[in-house]
Amino acid sequence: MFLDQYTGRGVRIAVIDSGVHAAHPHISGSPYSPDALRGNTSAPLRVHGVSEGVAIRENGSLDEDYVDRLGHGTAVTAAIREKAPAAQIVAIKVFWKALATDVATLVRAIDEASARRAQVINLSLGTADTAHRDALSAAVRRAAARGALLVSAIEDRGVQWLPGSFDDVVGVRLDWVCPREAYRVVRTGAGRAIAASGYPRDIPGVSRERNLKGVSFAVANASGFVARALEASPGAGLEAVLDALERQTARL
């Protein structure tokens, strides 16, 4: 089994972020496939924007306006699309005027993601406030009970993040020297994590240093690889997914 043969087909990935601009060329109709990632675009794989979307307002109400007006969620989704071009995207918007939200909204978003049958929940966000540990831990457990794997950063700039540092979350570490098309499974104090590039998809004419970058995109890149592993092993749990990724690290 080689994970570069998979595209995330049949896997639903919830992106909890600033929404998604579904018509963006990196989201809808992207010509990426396993062959394309290796430089062969003779038989491109077509994909179709966003499968489903919802927004959560500050008062907790749901809204149909999941359009991204900040750009972050679209860039995160584009990085996921690049790695898992056939995955279904479920956009869940929690950022409106800035890249910030409260824990109640985040918990609601995690619950919404699993209720909408997401198998992977991409959290390119987190908090260092340990007062939120219990609420986030309970949300992670509810999602896991519905068959969802959360992917989130363990830490950023030396500060431990929640929920990424929980044992039952696929933790991600930022690795600036890791190629964008690759990843590593690394050992942590609590177990294993995925180390991935912090760069998003390149924008023609914009240098990497001027583009968005950081741990958000390490998480997004990791989510795409997790989706490939889940396509290869449907229903696999966290440890089985990490086993599959660890076996194939050198193959991608």
What is the full DSSP assignment across 212-234?
Answer: --SHHHHHHHHHHHHHHHHHHST
Sign of CA dihedral 145, 53, 86, 220: negative
Q: What is the 3-state secondary structure (H, E, C) of 127-185?
A: ECCHHHHHHHHHHHHHHHHCCCEEEEECEECCEECECCCCCCCEEEEECCCCCCCCEEE
pLDDT value of position 37 = 44
pLDDT value of position 48 = 57
pLDDT value of position 166 = 95
pLDDT value of position 35 = 46
pLDDT value of position 138 = 98
Model confidence at 196, pLDDT cuts 50, 70, 90, reads very high
pLDDT value of position 66 = 95
For the cut 50, the answer to whether the pLDDT of residue 34 exceeds it is no
Model pTM score: 0.90
**Nearest CA to 32 among 67, 75, 84?**
84
Residue whose entry in the numeric block shows the structure tokens 């860039």: 75
**Averaged pLDDT for residues 79-87:** 95
The share of the chain scoring above pLDDT 90, in percent, equals 73
Beta bridge partners of 88: 12
Give the span between the Cα atoms of 181 and 245, in whole angstroms.
13
pLDDT value of position 41 = 42
Q: Which fold has domain 3-251?
A: Rossmann fold (3.40.50)
**Nearest CA to 10 among 239, 219, 228, 237?**
228
Model confidence at 46, pLDDT cuts 50, 70, 90, reads very low
Model confidence at 212, pLDDT cuts 50, 70, 90, reads confident
Give the span between the Cα atoms of 204 and 215, in whole angstroms.
22
pLDDT mean across residues, the chain: 88
The share of the chain scoring above pLDDT 70, in percent, equals 86
Structure tokens at 181: 């098309």
pLDDT value of position 28 = 79
pLDDT value of position 27 = 87
For the cut 70, the answer to whether the pLDDT of residue 210 exceeds it is no
The domain limits of the chain are: 3-251
